[in-house]
Structure 1
């Protein structure tokens, strides 16, 4: 068993006084108004331009995130742009040709290379060939944690050893101690290498959340550990109180953002699924109100080939059960998914 604390940085703990801003919830939109993985108003124009063969808008968008050290937004935009380039590569190839040393192009290129081979049966071997692209992206801007998140995913997919993982983790958090993408990637690595050792994964997630600012997405990391536990089916039980504490922390984070906002949508979708697994239907219904029309592929793609359809089905189930007035029950066992 790997020592959990050995993988954690020496966080400097400090007390924080944070005021939760209450935003009024919205009513549930009609099914035909719900969108899957809708881009925000900054990413949308970049995707439209890419669809027309132009890379300049995407390049300007990523350059602005780097200039502002907006690493969470940068990470999300890189993933979406790379996914788009998988299906429509012409605009990206034009970018690569025009600006072969552009740090923003390099990080999209590294993500694209990993995304392209991730589902292959020969993933481990193919990922080894991707390493130079990740190295080039990391050298593009030494402040940028996103190449290190990609490197953590690469280590996960290629089944790299713990020593290499620890080196990557230390490099990532040195650049951005509370970057959610790096923490989520690390948790995926640990969940696989510690298969069944969910309490250690909770230790990692809870320590990171405790040290993160109140408005950081890392506050929702324990919910990801809860999702892994509830959809796994092996290892010792995690106390119900620990699961409830994880979702309570994420509920507090959700309340800090406006309702019907695409930025926290994935966090809220994940939280809703975990609340449903825990049979906390009133809390799940409140998150559905806050989600509004913004469904996300994760986590519904873990349990269905039609993530939007599964989201709408569960939404209706929660709404009907809430209206029926059945008493809340405790967690009745673990669900199962194909991956987490």
Structure 2
């Protein structure tokens, strides 16, 4: 870049950077993996050693067939149990055959196995526990999502994976968590390829209901391609952009600062940054509001929240540098030339 070009770029940044901050919450108001209004009190109670609120919340999701919420809550409770065991140990002592306890116990066992050097062996030992959770509530797809994760880590062959996948979709054809787990199995990082992963994601998105998070599955496949050590030569830029466009469309169907699509919006922002689509990334940052999520940033850095703060600043700088020096506006909703 010439000296004059660098000067103009800097001048653009100075001219537009301030207005581009409109609609973005201050750094000290950002939250990482903030629980929703139902999960938060249950986690607070668990921190005091009380398991009953967690048990009641999961029982409600089971009885109401709230499978997406159930999956999210199981993941959070298992993560919490890994760090704070008192409440979980009390739950096991009081109700060892509780179907909700068995589900959290299965997720916790799988997570611990993945973190161990003896992953495959430990995961094979977890299979009976997952089977018990599935038998305890036959209509629940979440044990089958856990089984798909277990199969991936244990090196299950394609036939075994397809049998588990059939069981999962029989219970909930559009369950987001099961689709994400299947996508990981089919990825180039595990037992598939970039092309197979992308095709699976695109089919699921085409079949998804309006507003379903499955519409963001292709952008998840795009992230796997863009961050892979193996260059995805078989995935053209137009296909990556189409995946991002579909997720942008999905994001706009939700209110700004809605915690439900927060992870999808963080994922989409990561892909838009990788594609250097700075204005679109800034739009997503405004829609995210204060709700930063560990995924996908924890796949790239050790401190997701710090990285998210730095990324917001980078995106603003890039957008500011692209705006005309004279005229134009950095206000929300402005057209970026």
Which TM-score band (shorter chain)? 0.7 to 0.9
Give unmatched runs, 5+ long, in structure 1.
1-25, 328-340
Matched, 1:138 2:134: yes
Matched, 1:72 2:64: no
CA separation in 2, counterparts of 1:180 and 1:303? Answer: 23
Of the candidates 273, 276, 281, which is equivalent to residue 284 of structure 1? 281
CA separation in 2, counterparts of 1:248 and 1:227? Answer: 14
CA separation in 2, counterparts of 1:315 and 1:292? Answer: 11
User: CA shift at 1:313, angstroms?
Assistant: 1.0
User: CA shift at 1:92, angstroms?
Assistant: 0.9
Counterparts of residues 24-63 of structure 1 (less than 5 Å): 27-63=23-59
SS at match of 1:137: helix
**Matching residue of 1:124:** 120
Counterparts of residues 150-229 of structure 1 (less than 5 Å): 150-191=146-187, 192-195=189-192, 197-229=193-225
User: CA shift at 1:241, angstroms?
Assistant: 1.4
**Matching residue of 1:266:** 263
Matched, 1:236 2:202: no
User: CA shift at 1:265, angstroms?
Assistant: 0.7
CA separation in 2, counterparts of 1:96 and 1:194? Answer: 35
CA separation in 2, counterparts of 1:67 and 1:216? Answer: 22
Residues 39-95 of structure 1: CA deviation (Å, up to 9, x unaligned): 011100010000001111111111111122111111000000000000111111111
2:30–2:290 Cα contact (<8 Å) kept = yes
Matched, 1:108 2:104: yes
**Matching residue of 1:5:** none
Moved over 3 A (4+): 192-195
Counterparts of residues 305-320 of structure 1 (less than 5 Å): 305-320=302-317
User: CA shift at 1:193, angstroms?
Assistant: 4.0
SS at match of 2:276: coil
Counterparts of residues 248-267 of structure 1 (less than 5 Å): 248-267=245-264
**Matching residue of 1:302:** 299
**Structure showing the higher helix proportion among its residues:** 2
CA separation in 2, counterparts of 1:91 and 1:254? Answer: 36
User: CA shift at 1:204, angstroms?
Assistant: 0.4
Residues 259-291 of structure 1: CA deviation (Å, up to 9, x unaligned): 112111100000000001111111110000011
SS at match of 2:96: coil
2:226–2:232 Cα contact (<8 Å) kept = no
User: CA shift at 1:115, angstroms?
Assistant: 1.2
CA separation in 2, counterparts of 1:269 and 1:121? Answer: 30
User: CA shift at 1:312, angstroms?
Assistant: 1.1
Of the candidates 74, 81, 88, which is equivalent to residue 77 of structure 2? 81
User: CA shift at 1:209, angstroms?
Assistant: 0.7
User: CA shift at 1:103, angstroms?
Assistant: 1.0
**Matching residue of 1:337:** none
Q: RMSD in angstroms over aligned alpha carbons?
A: 1.3
User: CA shift at 1:235, angstroms?
Assistant: 4.2
Q: How many residues align?
A: 301
SS at match of 2:40: helix
Residues 238-259 of structure 1: CA deviation (Å, up to 9, x unaligned): 1111111111111111111111
